[in-house]
Structure 1
Amino acid sequence: MITESIRSLYNRDLNKLKAEIEAYQNEENLWKTDKNIANSAGNLVLHLVGNLNHFIGTHLGNSGYVRQRDLEFSLKDIPRAELIEKIEATTAMIDSVFAQLSEEDLKKEYPLVVFERAMTTDYFLIHLVAHLDYHLGQINYHRRLLDI
């Protein structure tokens, strides 16, 4: 039951992320920053895709994904269509991994120590969806401020 609830939150919010990226009137503005806005929407998308593929795809789904976190913030000018493909692939990966997770699996210890202490898998998956939503809000604000 909780597995399906968490999975539906990821699907909902990754679809919102896709809609935000599609809502930019000017594709170049995806990569715009300002004196008080250090990260572009494009870089935040790369960060979210990298984060989810690393922590869910690699560590729960054995996907073999290798994260290059520095590139999440240094790559620029990736076409909107490619960002959307990355979001869609991440959504598919999450569906695939969650299809394999049982309620028992969620109560197990997450296989990687992330916050200097062990935690359950369900706790960390809830943290990751909150992280997704935090950056989704930043992207929404970025678009409304800088897509002019």
Structure 2
Amino acid sequence: MGIKSFMGKRAAPEKPTETRISVRDYMTENLVTFREHENIMDVMEKLIKHGISGGCIVNEKMELLGMISEGDCMKEISDSRYYNMPMSDLTVGKRMVKNVQTIDGNMNVLEAARKFTEMKFRRFPILEDGKLIGQISQRDVLRAAIKLRSHTWAH
């Protein structure tokens, strides 16, 4: 005589709902952008006003021309004081970083985290068909990790 179990049939474990994990799902789309001809002082004011540490420089077709950061502005302040040059005639185009690293919107957001740590950048622009469609920051990746943890990672 065998031992009988009094446990009922166990339900199959629930599959977690599929969580979207591409960079595109976590990028910021409503960006503060700048133009090449803007004065560096105006850019600094916008950075402070919007509480951001940098942004993309685009043309009228939303094609990416470069990036400007607080650090770039700090360098300008330092150089202007050192060389006794007025900042009032300095444009973003003269200080922006032109060789910009972008990130694929379809990349897994966890892969993006690795790219952030390897390259030491604070943000990456995302292009589609040559046009700026968004930007992902370190903070966006942190938000994604928190959201993903609640769906997929062991607590």
- Asked if Structure 1 and Structure 2 have the same fold, meaning a TM-score greater than 0.5 normalized by the shorter chain, the answer is no
Bigger Rg over Cα: 2
TM-score, normalization by structure 2: 0.27
Structure whose residues are more often strand by fraction: 2
Higher helix share: 1
Taking CA–CA contacts closer than 8 Å with sequence separation of 6 or more, which of the two structures ends up with the larger relative contact order? 1
